[in-house]
A and B are shown apart, each in its own frame.
Chain A
Amino acid sequence: MNVATTKIDPVFFSFALDYLQRYFPVTPVQAEFMMGYSEMRHFDKKIIIVNDGEQENYLNMVVSGLVRKYVRRGKSEVTLQLATEGHIVHSEISFLNRVPSPVVIETIEPTTMVSLNHSNYELALQNMPGADRIGRLLLIAMFVKKDERHYKQLHMSTRERFLEYLKNHPHMLQRVPQKYLASYLNIKPETFSRLKHLVKLK
């Protein structure tokens, strides 16, 4: 498999930690545990990290690069998440319920992630002080994000979704192939092109 695992780089780890601390405080002792249990994984671009039907064994935070989570629907793909620096991405259902993944996790750009494998996740829950609390707060953060995204999808018009996304993620238009972005925003490809053209004119 096209993955290289390396010992964790403290600089990368502190980046991941800073991101986590936006959601909840992490004590120095907890940080020490987390660093001990984590590993760094490097992937080329366009690598399938987890395919549908496979077991997800990792909880990942992207420290550089870009990862796409999607579900296959007939011959097409529906993009569910575009994860960049600081984002958590994995197949939640497979990781938590220990069932085959219904989704595909695939890199778009060469990507480095700080990853926690499932057996270390279990060890952390046993050994790290306050692990259940941190786990709960992390799940809440993920839950809120999912809900907000879905709420926006239902509440905003196609045009509003497009404009809001570009405002908050100005670099993504360059980084992500248009068909993935259109799918992620639930916008028809032809409508997406038209909207993109409008923005350029402005």
Chain B
Amino acid sequence: MISGFLEFMGRYIALTEDEKARLSEILEVRTYDKKAKLTDLGEVEQYLNFVVNGLIRKFFFNGKDQVIKHIAKERNIVASSVSYFSRLPSNYIVETIEPSVVVSISRDNLEKLFESGERWERAGRLMMADLLIEKEYWLLNMARYSPRERFLQFIKEQPDLVQRVPQKYLASYLHIKPETFSRLKHLVQIKNNIIKQS
């Protein structure tokens, strides 16, 4: 279960066997049904979660509408991250779409780990830089691409999620109106059929 997370951390520093053991001690494996909440609105996020398998979304309510902020699949990190870092109540709900297994690390344990040595501090900084860059790319893509471009980019990069995620969630995540999303999906299907036939 935890080998995936060790690999993930290994991208930032080459972990020694001792370090792997140290990290393994503070990891928790948590298992959820589908549509189960990991974090609710107003709670302070306690965990950073690494998805071992399953599918998890992060969203908030705008009136009655759900706005999807993140869809995490295998090997992705998901959490109400601002709450996790700032210790303020979460603006978001973190909820499974499919039954999911996550490897979780509590904020207290992660802080202690980072403070326990220079190599861990370095891993912490590099991990945070990655999270910042991921967010920046997402914001940038929202600003610079049209709904059609966002749609095409998404299905190119994550074709599996088009099958796994309910369409209304995907539309919300990509900031595309549901009717536009249907139309774009239809267009792509026609194109694929033409390619297959030729």
User: Given A147-B82, A155-B91, 10 other A-B contacts at CB below 8 A?
Assistant: A78-B143, A93-B137, A132-B124, A133-B124, A135-B129, A139-B129, A139-B131, A151-B91, A154-B60, A154-B69
Would you call A96 and B133 a contact (CB within 8 A)?
yes
Q: Which A143-161 residues have C-beta < 8 A from chain B?
A: 143-144, 146-148, 150-151, 154-155
Measured between alpha carbons, how far is A147 from B129 in the docked complex, in Å?
A: 14
Report how far A72 CA is from B137 CA in the complex, Å.
14
Distance in Å: Cβ of A21 to nearest Cβ of chain B: 17
Chain A positions within 8 Å of B135 at CB level: 143, 146-147
| Given A132-B124, A136-B121, residue A73 in contact with residue B132 (CB < 8 A) | no
Q: Mark B30-72, 1 if CB is under 8 A from A, else 0.
A: 0000000000000000000000000000001010000101000
> Can you identify 6 A-B contacts, CB atoms within 8 angstroms?
A73-B144, A73-B145, A147-B81, A147-B82, A154-B60, A155-B67
Q: Are B85 and A80 neighbours in the complex by a CB distance under 8 Å? A: no
Residue pair A132, B144 in contact (C-beta under 8 Å): no
- Complex: chain B residue closest to A143, CB-CB: B132
List the A side residues contacting B129 at CB < 8 Å: 96, 135, 139
* Residues 72-87 (chain A) with a chain B CB within 8 angstroms: 72-73, 78, 80
The answer to whether B128 touches A146, judged by C-beta atoms less than 8 angstroms apart, is no
Contact B131 A133, beta carbon cutoff 8 Å: no
Q: B86 interface residue, CB < 8 Å from A?
A: yes
Interface residues in chain B, defined as those with a beta carbon under 8 Å from any beta carbon in chain A:
60, 62, 67, 69, 81-82, 85-86, 91, 114-115, 118, 121-122, 124-125, 128-129, 131-133, 135-137, 139-140, 143-145
Residues of B within 8 A of A144 (CB): 82, 85-86
The minimal Cβ–Cβ distance linking A95 to chain B, given in whole angstroms, is 10
Please determine whether B114 and A133 come into contact, CB atoms closer than 8 angstroms: yes
A102 within 8 A of B: yes
Confirm or deny: A142 has a beta carbon within 8 angstroms of a beta carbon on chain B: yes
Min CB gap B118→A, angstroms: 7
Q: Are B139 and A72 in contact (CB under 8 A)?
A: no
B85 in complex: contacting residue of A97, A143, A155, CB < 8 Å: A143
- A128-144, CB under 8 A of B: which get 1 and which 0? 00101101100110111
Does chain B have a CB within 8 A of A39? no
> CA of A129 to CA of B29 in the docked complex: distance in angstroms?
35
**Which positions 188-202 of chain A face chain B at CB distance < 8 Å?**
none
Check: A182 CB closer than 8 A to any chain B CB: no
Question: Would B140 and A71 count as touching, CB distance under 8 A?
Answer: yes
Task: Give bound CA distance, A99 to B106, whole Å.
Answer: 33
In the complex, what's the smallest C-beta–C-beta distance from B66 to chain A, in angstroms? 11
Closest to B145 in A: A73
State whether A148 touches B133 (Cβ < 8 A).
no
Instruction: Output the nearest chain B residue to A92 by Cβ-Cβ distance.
Output: B136
B128 near A103: Cβ-Cβ < 8 Å: no
Q: In the assembled complex, which residues on chain A have CB atoms less than 8 Å from the CB atom of B85? A: 140, 143-144
Cβ contact within 8 Å between B132 and A142: yes
Q: Which residues of A contact B137 (CB under 8 A)?
A: 93
A132 touches B132 (CB 8 A): no
Shortest A122–chain B CB gap in Å is 13
Distance between Cα atoms of A103 and B136 in the complex (Å) = 11
**How far apart are B119's CB and chain A's nearest CB, in angstroms?**
9
- CB neighbours (8 Å) of B81 from chain A are 143, 147
A102 touches B140 (CB 8 A): yes
